[in-house]
Copies of this chain bind each other. A is one copy, B any other.
């Protein structure tokens, strides 16, 4: 194979395609149960929640707000200013769910909601219950704080997902009517508002609307919002002055600090470091990548690359978490990755995975898929409990429950997953990720099928005008073997590009039992198996999963002298449940061997890692002393057990650490 022939075009219009979700059927030991939980537990729970039927929980009022706006009930608006988005997030998850698992009752519920939305929409297209009910005269007067376009964006995403599932146009028509109104309101033309939302989201959502409607107006508007962001004078400052310096949130947001918080400190093309609210950053990046790819805007793509590089090489936790402080749920600065005062919001990792997916479609490099996988297998599924009923906002890498309770600097860190939240962003975000997981497995570029994730199931793929089927069978991430079967009606020439993950010590590929030399066909982290495929061809991929002692760059002061254990895509941790309290008293000797061992009865079946380590044994000598120059540390040998990070906090309240001392 000639490598040069595979040099990827820098023509950004030649991007990879996704496989339509309904062409993919996941059947996977590891993932299917999560997807099932999302469909059978979380979506129904969410439905009850937005209908105010959860006992012991503050009523959401989300559906009720729409019913009141629709004139079906009387009453007042209740909830957060972005309460509408809870309905959209439910509807989007329903849309994804129906694409793979038709369910007439669920569809009926959704149709009824859509009918209400239709009635609630104003005649000019506007649709936001907070402003309709509470501040009808103040539309678009506080874009920084009031999430108006953010809510619109989530609705557009829901509309597209539901339309894709059902082919029913109604919800799409409501969305387009609203989008048309937004387009008539915002833009560079005189008389329009020259602004954007405080929370990026509408940009990527308008892009989705453009893709499904092919109406270029939405693409143009998305690009406008992106390019206007960070223009001087500052739009949010101007709006603030105009409305008499009134803040929506008590205490407001410091105007200078706020510029980074909202990513308006610089035009986005000039932003080379990820600053401010982490979710906002990655949502902005998604829109940037979409527009860059579609319009062939290499400068915009370069900005995406810069932000990507800054995040993954300087500001990302090993678990794929991002956001180093709870204050502003924000990025801080390069290599500042404290494990205990961390934020690492679940939604931010979801956004990072989505951003990675877009970058991967533009440039099929395994480093993007590596990060997507890291976020998925660690922080994202870690965000949900094993029963689908508890959720983390914050995903810490070091927890002492007593500190969470008694040191207010760590109050935002919870040692157990919470039932639901006043600001219900993370649970529905996990749901939509799980219900759309199939989208992230493959991408197709001309005659190349990229296998980015190893998840069992089948996919019907159109490659170079041929319909083929790819079946994966695997016990990944526990086992090293992935079996791929190709189904095709007639002999078909295409390249099956198999991602060789960054963590993989050594990979082996056999095609119909014939060993392939990977080094000869490796390109940008993929093994490019190009051949004329016949029905029933089998590829056996062995991804060696050595147990890795990961070190952080020494500039990460929080991790100095420590290691994190990783096997395959999974980062591991120590929990008090297995190793007793005061985990910081343990160190892992450099020479200690780690052994992988599957425990079928533990946490739904997990591969645990065991080692002989050392733990301080002479605490009792200290008695009431706090400091001493005389007491020398003594250590006992102990057996320790690591469990996958995603599975922590499913056995009651206890300590947890990812980074373990090594010496």
Interface string of A314-355 (1 = CB under 8 A from B): 101010000011111010110010101100000000000000
The chain B residue sitting closest to A402, CB to CB, is B333
A624 touches B309 (CB 8 A): yes
Q: Does A137 contact B (CB under 8 A)?
A: no
User: Which residues, 492 to 529 on A, are CB-close (under 8 Å) to B?
Assistant: 503
Contact A625 B560 (CB under 8 A): no
Residue of chain B at shortest CB distance from A411: B327
CB pair A408 B327 closer than 8 Å: yes
Copies in the complex: 2
Known: A561-B587, A625-B313. A336 touches B406 (CB 8 A): yes
Contact A400–B251 (Cβ < 8 Å): no
User: Given A325-B407, A402-B333, A403-B333, are A626 and B585 neighbors across the interface (CB < 8 Å)?
Assistant: no
The minimal Cβ–Cβ distance linking A349 to chain B, given in whole angstroms, is 15
Contact of A550 among B250, B503, B629, B661 (CB under 8 A): B629
A249 nearest CB across to chain B (Å): 12
Would A409 and B326 count as touching, CB distance under 8 A?
yes
A560, B548: Cβ atoms under 8 Å? no
Of the candidates A318, A333, A408, the one having the most CB atoms from chain B within 10 angstroms of its own CB is A408
Q: Which residues of B contact A661 (CB under 8 A)?
A: 560-561
List residues 292-315 of chain A with CB under 8 A from any CB of chain B: 309, 312-314
In the complex the two chains form, is B333's CB within 8 Å of A406's CB?
A: yes
Determine if A465 is an interface residue (Cβ-Cβ < 8 Å): no
Residues of chain B contacted by A587 (CB below 8 angstroms): 561
Q: Which residues of B contact A564 (CB under 8 A)?
A: 627
A557 to B503, CA, bound (A): 30
Taking a contact as CB atoms under 8 Å apart, the answer to whether A313 and B626 are in contact is yes
Q: A564 — nearest CB in chain B belongs to which residue?
A: B627
Question: Is the CB–CB distance between B316 and A400 below 8 Å?
Answer: no
Residue from the list B251, B400, B555, B631 in contact with A557, Cβ < 8 A: B400
Contact of A553 among B251, B324, B627 (CB under 8 A): B627
Task: Tell me the A606-632 residues at the B interface (CB within 8 Å).
Answer: 616, 619, 622, 624-629, 631
Beyond A551-B633, A554-B622, A555-B619, whether A330 also contacts B584 by CB under 8 A is no
Residues in B neighbouring A556, C-beta threshold 8 A: 626
| Nearest opposing residue in chain B for A312, CB measure | B626
Residues on B with C-beta less than 8 A from A663 are 561, 663
Highest count of chain B CB atoms <10 Å: which of A250, A316, A332: A332
Q: B318 and A627: CB pair below 8 A?
A: yes
